[in-house]
Every structure is written in structure tokens, then in C-alpha cells.
Amino acid sequence: MHRVTLIPGDGIGPEVSAAACRILNATGVKLDWEEVEAEPVTDRRGDRLLHAGWLDSIRRTRVALKGPMATPVAEGHRSLNVALRQALELYANLRPVRNLPGLKTRFDGVDVVIVRENTEDLYAGLEHTVVPGVVEGLKIVTERASTRIARFAFQYARANHRRTVCAIHKANIMKLSDGLFLNCVRRVAGEFPEINYQELIVDNACMQLVMKPEQFDLLLLQNLYGDIVSDLCAGLVGGLGVVPAANLGSEHAVFEAVHGTAPDIAGKNVANPTALALSGAMLLDHLGEAAAAQAVRQAIHALYREGRHLTSDVGGSASTTEFTDAVVAAVEAAASRRQVGA
């Protein structure tokens, strides 16, 4: 039995997390979901805070499946998503971006892994008004975090047969901050002579990604560039509805999709649960349940290959529930075939 914290999240979060849980449960792996309280906790000013109970739960279970959480724009509280990553030192954000079989997009052969530094950079949340009309936001880059994420990227490349790590930066302009990041990556690259190492300036990288994405293998980025380039890459393979992710630290792991709360479609039973279900497959791998993880991927891939029961963001007309029912049925059928074979 594996205990797993479940944070349903906001917007489409409860719909896609319920779908992902059903799909993971269908594998037959015994998962004991510890669902955390959803009621917002606020401070005296009414700003939303991270639930202490969420942190306690993840510290206990060490692993969580999480839906997206909303953050007000240009006002209000800090991102709870960022706060959670920082509080648990989930320093590596891992986002594998691949074409799904049968899902026609403008590009074939996209198979790129994004490794994003998850704890600092402009997401440190240090902003202040110097004088009215002048605001300063601090970009924090440390040798420790840059070296740690670089080592994660190269170790991931080595373990997963990735041949080339490409560091993305803007060190021509931010010579000290991005320069420090780049120098740390270069030092780590020297420890992995079997892995090719390249560098690209972020603007050029974006152009190359939308011209010829198949040339990229593993991208290593700081927090802000990683956030932006992740959505860009999702767009290459069918959109935010299909790209999974993991936030990994040395003690804890939180699996969530790349997408946000999608307020435009929340509550309509049309959201695509593929991204969170594939994040769930990454969670199963993390728990050592590789066969179950593979069963989830295969069931999802089969539906995409056949083009049946897909949601509208990927060209179908099925509801969240219809897609989930079809994946659950395929996963259960595979699980009973495994039992018969055993």
C-alpha cells in the first residue's frame, strides 16, 4: 500500500484529479489517498496561504498528486504552487514533452525533456517599490541551486539515454546572474563526458523550437525561462491538456500537470485529464510501480492512436468523464490480462 497526498486544486483541478485518481486506481496498485482540505486558509488581509496541513501530509507521505492552483494577476497573494515547491525544496521540475501517437500536430518527432530549476530566479518573490513609480524585482541565482539542477539534468540524461543537454540562458545580457548559472552548468557538464553539451540564448532557442523542435533532446533552464518554454513546447504536441510534470526534491515529490486552472472551461466536464493522468504515471514510476505506469501510458496512447473518446482540446467531442471511462476500462482490461497471465 502506498500513501499518496492528493491536492485537488482549483478550477479544473478537482475534475482532472478525480479522473487521474480513477485511472491510477484502475491499475490495481494499492493507493491510499490522503486528500487534503480544500477550504482556503487566509491571513488577516484575506490573502490566501499555503495550508500547513498540506505540507504536513506531504512530509508524511513524501509523494503527492496535485491539481493546479489559481494565482491572482498583478495583485493579491503569492503563487501557492511556487510556495509549495520552495517549502519542500522541490528543486527540479521535470517535463517530458512528446508527440502522442495518432495526435496530428504541426510537428512530428518531438521528444524533448525540460528540466527547470524550481526554487529561485525571479520566482523568489522579492519585489518592492523603491519610490512610487519605480519597482525592483530581484532575480536570485545561486551557485548551489544552479549546480544542483545541472547535476540533476545530467544524471537524468545518463539514466534515461538522453544524448544532449542544452542549457538555455540570456547570459549575454544578464552576465552575472545567468552567467553564474551557465558557469555552474559548464562545470557539471565536464563530469559527464559521454553527454553532449550545448548552449543557446533563450530567444534563439524559442525560434529554433518552433522551426525544428525534433533537434532537441533535453533542455536545462532557470525558473522563468523554463516556465515559458514549457508552455511553448506543450503547444508543439497538442497543448496543455497533454503534458505531464513532476516536481522533485531529495525528500519529496509532487506530480502535477504543466497546465493551470483553466477557468474558461472549469466545471463543464470538458477538461482533458491526459496531462494529470500521465503525471500520475510518472508518480507510479516514482513509487516503483513501473508496470502499472506503463499500463496507464499504453491505455492513453491506444485511445489517441484510435482517435476515440478524445476531449475537444485535441479534436474530439468526448467529455472528461467519457475519456476517463474509456481509459479506466482499458487499464482494467490490461490489469486482468496480467493477472490471468501470471
By C-beta, is 195 or 270 nearer to ligand NAI?
270
Active site residue 30: no
Total residues interacting with ligand NAI, rule: CB under 6 A: 21
Question: Taking the complex as a whole, how short is the minimal distance between the CB of residue 272 and ligand NAI, in angstroms?
Answer: 4
Evaluate whether 257 touches 244 at the Cβ level (below 8 Å). Answer: yes
Active site residue 91: no
Active site residue 231: no
User: Does residue 113 belong to the site contacting ligand NAI (CB under 6 A)?
Assistant: no
Q: Interaction with ligand NAI in 272-291: which residues (CB under 6 A)?
A: 272, 275
- Label residue 238 left, alpha or beta by phi (over 0 means left) and psi (-120 to 50 means alpha): left
Strand, coil or helix: 259: coil
User: Does residue 264 belong to the site contacting ligand NAI (CB under 6 A)?
Assistant: yes
Q: Residue from 64, 157, 218, 262 that binds ligand NAI (CB under 6 A)?
A: 262
Which residues of the chain form beta strands (DSSP E)?
Answer: 2-7, 31-35, 41-42, 48-49, 63-66, 92-98, 111-117, 127-131, 134-137, 164-169, 196-201, 218-221, 246-248, 253-255
Geometric angle at alpha carbon 123, from 119 and 124, rounded to 5°: 70
Of the listed 170, 178, 197, 304, which one is catalytic?
170
Q: How far apart are CA 139 and CA 27, in angstroms?
A: 43
By C-beta, is 12 or 31 nearer to ligand NAI?
12
Q: Residue from 84, 184, 240, 331 that binds ligand NAI (CB under 6 A)?
A: 240
Question: Taking the complex as a whole, how short is the minimal distance between the CB of residue 71 and ligand NAI, in angstroms?
Answer: 4
Q: How far apart are CA 55 and CA 257, in angstroms?
A: 19
Instruction: Return the closest-CA partner of residue 271 out of 242, 228, 294.
Output: 242
By C-beta, is 184 or 262 nearer to ligand NAI?
262
Active site residue 32: no
- Could you give the strand order of the β-sheet that contains 246-248, starting from the edge strand earlier in sequence? 31-35, 2-7, 63-66, 253-255, 246-248, 92-98, 111-117, 218-221, 164-169, 196-201
User: Does residue 260 belong to the site contacting ligand NAI (CB under 6 A)?
Assistant: yes
User: Does residue 265 belong to the site contacting ligand NAI (CB under 6 A)?
Assistant: yes
User: Does residue 83 belong to the site contacting ligand NAI (CB under 6 A)?
Assistant: no
User: Does residue 241 belong to the site contacting ligand NAI (CB under 6 A)?
Assistant: yes
Question: Taking the complex as a whole, how short is the minimal distance between the CB of residue 116 and ligand NAI, in angstroms?
Answer: 12
Q: Interaction with ligand NAI in 302-341: which residues (CB under 6 A)?
A: 313
Catalytic positions: 123, 170, 203, 227
